[in-house]
Amino acid sequence: MAFTLRWKGERLTPVEVMHRVRGKLLPRPRHINTYIDDDAPAEALEATEFGRIYDSHDGARALKWLHYPEIYERHFGPLRGKPIRILEIGVAYGGSLEIWRRFFGSEAIIYGIDIDPSCAVHDGKAGSVRIGSQTDAAFLRSVVEEMGGIDLVIDDGSHDNRHIQASLDVLFPLLAEGGIYLVEDLHCSYWPRYSGGYAWPGAFYNRLKVMIDDMHHWYHGRGERIAATAGHLHAIHVYDSIAILEKRRVPEPVMTRRPKVGTAGAD
């Protein structure tokens, strides 16, 4: 049984108590709703196909930051019209699945998962929906097996840093070679109520820093610390609130010389 403390009538672990205290002492961030501007200039949306699809969407509710479409277009554009297997963590209102369907086309296999049973109403519309937790390893594996594998993961789930890491630990090893793993709304990584905080060790951004060290393990000799991505983390792209991991087997780096040694003009 885990050690707990009584905190204002609740039984909490020491880490949970620490989060509560930090949440009281640290500067309070702006409320998320203060960033919403439905009348923001649409030029950024009109610049990309995803943006145009999103801007014209009149189905179920969806929420996206204005700078996201350009990122989606850059990394997902080459996948459009192909029979790729997409898993989105977080269904909510169902609008996101509808937009992904329009963007990727009819050939894509799209699944969404959510812990909220009411999201089952969206099953069979723009994609398939399965109810379960993003931290349930057995559930995640069963969904991937049903899909026949995964080429793209979009984590737009709870945004809790612990949940993000738990999902990645299961799903990244199951991702196909050449696959893409995107985690969005990582501004939550800085907020205690999502098990994060500025320079907080458990925040996902700090895990990304460990991944960068792992990518360079050839040079520091300390090995790779994150088993889920070991040997297959080809690239990391970091944007405001989004991180994208590319999966590809990573061979030992080799340096070459030109002109070749022993040929004319070589030293």
Residues marked as catalytic: 159
DSSP for 203-216 reads SHHHHHHHHHHHHT
* C-alpha triplet 18, 24, 27: angle, nearest 5°: 115
CA distance 34 to 19: 24
Q: How big, in percent rounded to 5, are the helix, strand and coil portions of the chain? A: 40, 20, 40
CA distance 17 to 6: 9
Closest residue by Cα to residue 207 from 167, 265, 247: 167
140, 170 contact by CB (below 8 A): yes
Closest residue by Cα to residue 58 from 27, 29, 99: 99
236, 245 contact by CB (below 8 A): yes
Residue with tokens 């800085």: 190
Sign of CA dihedral 142, 79, 167, 250: positive
DSSP for 5-49 reads EEETTEEE-HHHHHHHHHHHHSPPPPPGGGG--TTS-THHHHTSH
